[in-house]
């Protein structure tokens, strides 16, 4: 009898899969904790831990993480149900009174960034010592209260006798650019508030790696936790981060092509010589980026090979003319230790965050460590 089950691109039916190295994850946490001067490190596990699996990531870090952060109350509830006991920040705050009650019941720390949040707190019958984070917009222009409202809001919150601790945070808009003047301007706005008596969370991954002045008791690690360096100078200043996700697939076919043959949709690639082309079982249905502004590479039998032609839904084509002994079924590394996800992202005119989230959402995950 037909069950109606969807044969989509998720899970074990596809050749593409990802390996999640939990030992590398734990190494990165310790490395970032040290880079932050020993300050309290919040592990950001929103968007299913950037495609790595939020529950498994949080469980792997449960023995040492100072706190976790997610985007939504729903994400936080799922982690509580999975047994995660640490402080849990909800970066997007709550969107209705029901979500506020979930924060109260489950001891979730909502981020307050809108007048609506204050109104809900004032209307609540009891907050049960709920800890909150007041977000100040120091220059991101997205979420947060204007800098000049900070003191007044803190004073008003102090009148809520069932409220727990009030902590402060902001978000750095351009910390990945080591030559930017915006980050220093944001930090100066925070200094002028003269609210150092409160615990702050200012630094994101780039702030941890590039801006020591942003280390202020609490820091938040997102992309760097998963082994991707966000800094603009990463080519000149290598950092000891380890890739957590490796994407692999298999060779489907090996075909000889003559000089002048065209490859793939749109005939966008023309063979400049007689070539041997491998067809690899991965594509945009697996989260592999379709947009390619430069030549990406994959690793086959220890050698890096250029991806040529357009990326298809289920396949890419790879130049293996100079690689010996490639056979159908051989393993292919799309990204990991080599090539790095940053390299693929650069070739695709995107960022590692997007690649990891997309691939991790599609591929079957296999965990190590």
Positions annotated as catalytic residues are: 46, 265
Peptide bond before residue 339 is cis, with ω within 30 degrees of 0: yes
β partners of residue 133: 111, 167
Cβ–Cβ under 8 Å, residues 65 and 41 = yes
Distance in angstroms (rounded) separating the CA atoms of residues 254 and 299: 15
How many CA atoms, within 13 angstroms, populate the side-chain half-sphere of residue 147? Answer: 17
Contacts of 164 (CB under 8 A, 6+ apart): 127, 129, 130, 131, 132
User: Which phi and psi angles does 212 have, rounded to 5°?
Assistant: -55, -30
Cβ–Cβ under 8 Å, residues 10 and 53 = no
Q: Which long-range contacts (CB under 8 A, 24 or more apart) does 159-163 make?
A: 160/121, 160/122, 160/127, 162/124, 162/126, 162/127, 162/128, 162/129, 162/130, 163/121, 163/127, 163/129, 163/130, 163/132
Distance in angstroms (rounded) separating the CA atoms of residues 209 and 280: 36
User: Which phi and psi angles does 172 have, rounded to 5°?
Assistant: -85, 130
β partners of residue 168: 134, 200
């Amino acid at each position: 009898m037909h069950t109606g089950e969807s044969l989509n691109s998720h899970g074990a039916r596809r050749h593409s899969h990802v390996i999640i190295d939990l030992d590398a994850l734990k190494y990165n946490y310790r490395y970032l904790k040290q880079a932050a001067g020993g300050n309290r490190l919040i592990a950001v596990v929103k968007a299913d831990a950037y495609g790595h699996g939020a529950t498994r990531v949080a469980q792997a870090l449960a023995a040492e993480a100072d706190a976790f952060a997610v985007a939504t109350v729903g994400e936080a509830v799922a982690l509580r149900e999975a047994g995660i006991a640490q402080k849990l920040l909800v970066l997007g705050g709550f969107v209705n009174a029901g979500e506020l009650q979930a924060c109260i019941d489950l001891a979730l720390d909502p981020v307050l960034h809108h007048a609506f949040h204050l109104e809900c707190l004032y209307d609540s019958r009891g907050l049960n010592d709920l800890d909150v984070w007041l977000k100040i917009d120091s220059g991101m222009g997205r979420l947060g209260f204007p800098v000049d409202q900070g003191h007044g809001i803190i004073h008003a919150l102090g009148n809520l006798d069932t409220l727990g601790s009030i902590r402060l945070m902001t978000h750095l808009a351009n910390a990945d650019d080591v030559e930017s003047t915006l980050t220093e301007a944001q930090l100066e706005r925070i200094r002028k508030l003269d609210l150092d008596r409160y615990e702050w969370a200012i630094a994101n991954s780039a702030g941890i790696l590039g801006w020591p002045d942003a280390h202020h008791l609490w820091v938040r690690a997102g992309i760097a936790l998963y082994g991707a360096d966000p800094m603009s100078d990463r080519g000149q200043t290598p950092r000891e981060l380890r890739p957590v996700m490796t994407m692999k697939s298999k060779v489907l076919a090996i075909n000889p092509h003559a000089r002048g043959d065209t490859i793939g949709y749109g005939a966008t690639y023309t063979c400049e010589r007689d070539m041997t082309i491998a067809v690899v079982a991965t594509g945009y249905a697996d989260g592999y980026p379709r947009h390619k502004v430069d030549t990406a590479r994959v690793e086959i039998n220890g050698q890096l090979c250029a991806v040529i032609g357009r990326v298809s839904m289920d396949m890419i084509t790879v130049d293996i003319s100079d690689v010996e002994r490639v056979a159908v079924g051989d393993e292919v590394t799309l990204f990991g230790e080599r090539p790095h996800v940053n390299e693929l992202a650069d070739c695709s005119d995107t960022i590692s965050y997007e690649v990891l989230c997309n691939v991790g959402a599609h591929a079957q995950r296999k965990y190590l460590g």
